[in-house]
Chains A and B, each alone.
Chain A
Amino acid sequence: MIVAVASGKGGTGKTSLAVNLAISIENVQLLDCDVEEPNAHLLLNPKITCQEPVYRLVPSVNELCDYCGKCAAFCQYNAILAVPGKILVFPELCHGCGGCILTCPKKAIGEGKNRIGIIKDGLIDGLRIVFGELEIGEPMAVPLIREVKKRLDKSRNIILDAPPGTSCPMIETVKGSDFCILVTEPTPFGLHDLKITVKVLEDMKIPHGVVVNRAGIGDKKVYEYCRGKGIPILLEIPYQRKIAELYSKGIPFSLKMPEWTDKFQKLFEDVKRLVGN
């Protein structure tokens, strides 16, 4: 089973939930797909077993080019510019579709590799973790997220930690999941961004449920919204200074508050049942 953990708003507790869930159940592979700011490994301190650089293909134009400009006219992303006597390639705009190569009548375009980040595999107490780190200044996270997800091991319970927002990096992460846990906080910002995220998941036809983090702060509108929409509230994690302090030190709180392990196990069983239905 593949379970994604997402939220629209950042900082609602996705990573904390994903990690606490991962250490509460057996046979897990945790994929941290927030390649812009991967944090799950900071809470787990895994032993890194292997790491690999990731590249993105970008066009490289050779001397056969006669500057006809067909590639530039085709490129939807304005990643190639043809000026008299010169072809300019802007790798940061290129999506790597390969269309320019297909349009070139002179076969003057090949592909070079642009390093976009690194993927690390780690292991801690039987838990496997994979995470990517996007190179600073590299705009496109999606190709790296794709590479992280290629390492998905279906023989395990998969937990995907998604990046915040509802645009392409989040979509790429949750795509193909059996279930998505939405972590929110009971505040106007939390609710507003939750609604946007629910809309995405409805469009993608991914079953979902809500975990309310920092319960007790804010107001009750998240609960009213979920009730009205028939979205199950899977778990509430109260706002407690102790939980916040443990998180600040990089300690998953269920390690120090063992009563929570049962709750995360139950959460996982509930998700399984919802997927089964």
Chain B
Amino acid sequence: MKQITILSGKGGTGKTTITAAFAVLAKKAVVADCDVDAPDLHMLLHPEIFETREFRGSKIAVIDETKCVKCGVCREKCRFDAITQDFTVDPFSCEGCGVCTLVCPVNAVTLTERISGYAYISKIKYGFMAHALLNPGESNSGKLVTIVRQNAKLLAEKERNNLIIIDGPPGIGCPVIASVTGVDAGLVVTEPTMSGIHDLERTLRLLRHFNVRPFVCVNIYDVNEENANKIFRFCEENGVEVVGNIPFNPVVTEAMVNGKTVMEYSPECDVAKEIKAIWKRLCTELSLR
């Protein structure tokens, strides 16, 4: 089984557009949307959910006000400033560590589980999809990403599918790390902007850190060809293969508005052709199919 993660560091560079196009090109694959706090892939692939599971990712402290003597020990020991002046727990600060339950002299604090989100297993036109939705404001997105990836793996094994395509979240923190560990390749989608270049460098370092084979593609490369060339040179110097340059084309947004992947909406446009070429190159490099 092969796993490839589409990631970017900087947000909004086109990860989801490309992942959805790959799902169409792969014809039969398991797709995993690991951007669990702002998932968008379902709007292009229209999964039919056949299994939903609650995700209990974190706990929260609850103070029993009938027992609380307002001594303030919990507030003093809490390192997350989660106990308010009137001895309630601020749900946006509490990390569910349980120190307050430990130090409370009258046992007024307990930890309770909270439903932090949902994990879904679905069927799509081009195979299967594992995805999730983290409740707004929740922590522990890395844990939910791990569950999505486990679901994708189980699906792939069950359906005798040898490919998992993962849509990663932006950034380089815990959900991104959870999306790239142990995969066969990471395709970094960048754009020819100063921010794009800066974030590409950090993302490539992250992939190196976790021993993941990197590939790069430059989206909207024609917005600044000088910067696009800088990216090619940088990648060449660092032995990273650039597998394609996708031009700017409003058709990408049009396809999105119509709830379609660019391959379905406009298969003959320059963007679709380039993504197809990128997919071919990746298939060769990774000996897929």
0/1 string, A9-38, CB within 8 A of B gives 1: 111100100000000000000000010110
Q: Which residues of B does A touch, CB under 8 Å? A: 8-13, 16, 35-38, 40, 43, 59, 77, 79-80, 92-93, 95-99, 102-103, 111, 134, 136-142, 169-177, 191-196, 198-199, 202, 205-206, 209-210, 223-224, 227, 250, 253, 256-257, 259
The answer to whether B99 and A102 have CB atoms under 8 Å apart is yes
CA distance A74 to B134 in the complex (A): 25
Query: Shortest Cβ distance from B221 into chain A, in angstroms?
Result: 10
Take A11-B10, A36-B173, A102-B103 as given contacts and tell me if A203 and B257 are in contact as well, using a CB distance cutoff of 8 Å.
no
Stretch among A47-55, A122-130, A167-175, A269-277 lining the B interface: A167-175
Residues of A within 8 A of B210 (CB): 137
The answer to whether B93 and A175 have CB atoms under 8 Å apart is yes
B171's nearest neighbour on chain A, judged by CB, is: A36
Our count of residue pairs bridging A and B at CB distance below 8 angstroms stands at: 194
Stretch among A83-91, A227-235, A242-250, A260-268 lining the B interface: A242-250
CA distance A141 to B43 in the complex (A): 29
CA distance A241 to B168 in the complex (A): 28
Residues of A within 8 A of B253 (CB): 187, 217-218
Residues of A within 8 A of B169 (CB): 165
Residues of B within 8 A of A10 (CB): 8, 10-13, 38, 170
Stretch among A58-66, A151-159, A188-196 lining the B interface: A188-196
B8's nearest neighbour on chain A, judged by CB, is: A10
Question: Contact check: which of B92, B102, B173, B199 meets A74 at CB < 8 Å?
Answer: B102
A120: CB under 8 A from chain B? no
CA distance A188 to B35 in the complex (A): 16
Take A188-B256, A218-B256, A248-B224 as given contacts and tell me if A42 and B194 are in contact as well, using a CB distance cutoff of 8 Å.
yes
A204: CB under 8 A from chain B? yes
User: What are 16 residue pairs bridging A and B, where the CB atoms are less than 8 Å apart in the complex?
Assistant: A9-B11, A9-B12, A9-B38, A10-B170, A11-B11, A11-B170, A36-B172, A37-B195, A39-B194, A98-B99, A136-B172, A164-B171, A167-B137, A167-B138, A189-B43, A199-B137
